[in-house]
């Protein structure tokens, strides 16, 4: 389990709480991307993930925020997952991502 920055909305997400926390190749085909085709292949938070599988069944984890922790939006592209699995600010090296929060 580690933290990552959603490549669509920029919020901080945990890989354990979304189907799209890893940039899997081929994984995308199991989901229905209608209307959000441009997000295919991105690392996505639960809220930005497709709501349905390709067979029409709904994904329990997707399409809404999971409410397991507060959704904190961050400046897009300024963070990466470091070796310890935390979100690190590229410029300052800080893991205290909450100090960089922005309004969505
Ligand atoms: Zn997102």
CA of 20 to the centre of ligand 1 (A): 10
CA pair distance 22, 26, nearest whole angstrom: 11
Whether this model's pTM surpasses 0.85: yes
pLDDT of residue 25: 65
- For the chain, how long is the longest CA-to-CA vector? 44
CA of 95 to the centre of ligand 1 (A): 19
CA of 63 to the centre of ligand 1 (A): 10
Count the helices and strands in the chain (H runs, E runs): 0, 4
Tell me the per-residue pLDDT of 76-90, one tens digit each, with 9 for 90 and over.
999 999 999 999 999
CA pair distance 34, 36, nearest whole angstrom: 6
**When comparing pLDDT for 97 and 19, which is higher?**
97
CA of 33 to the centre of ligand 1 (A): 15
pLDDT of residue 36: 96
Domain residues for 35? Answer: 1-104
pLDDT of residue 67: 94
Tokens linked to 82: 């470091």
pLDDT of residue 24: 64
Tokens 């300052």 identify what position? 92
């Amino acid at each position: 389990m580690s933290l990552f920055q959603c490549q669509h909305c920029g919020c901080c997400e945990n890989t354990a709480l979304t189907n799209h926390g890893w940039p899997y190749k081929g994984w995308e085909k199991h989901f229905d991307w209608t209307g959000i085709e441009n997000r295919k292949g991105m690392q996505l938070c639960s809220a930005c993930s497709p709501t349905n599988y390709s067979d029409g069944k709904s994904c329990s984890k997707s399409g809404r925020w999971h409410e397991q922790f507060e959704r904190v939006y961050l400046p897009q592209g300024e963070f990466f997952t470091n070796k310890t699995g935390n979100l690190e600010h590229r410029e300052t090296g800080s893991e205290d991502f909450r100090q960089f929060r922005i309004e969505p």
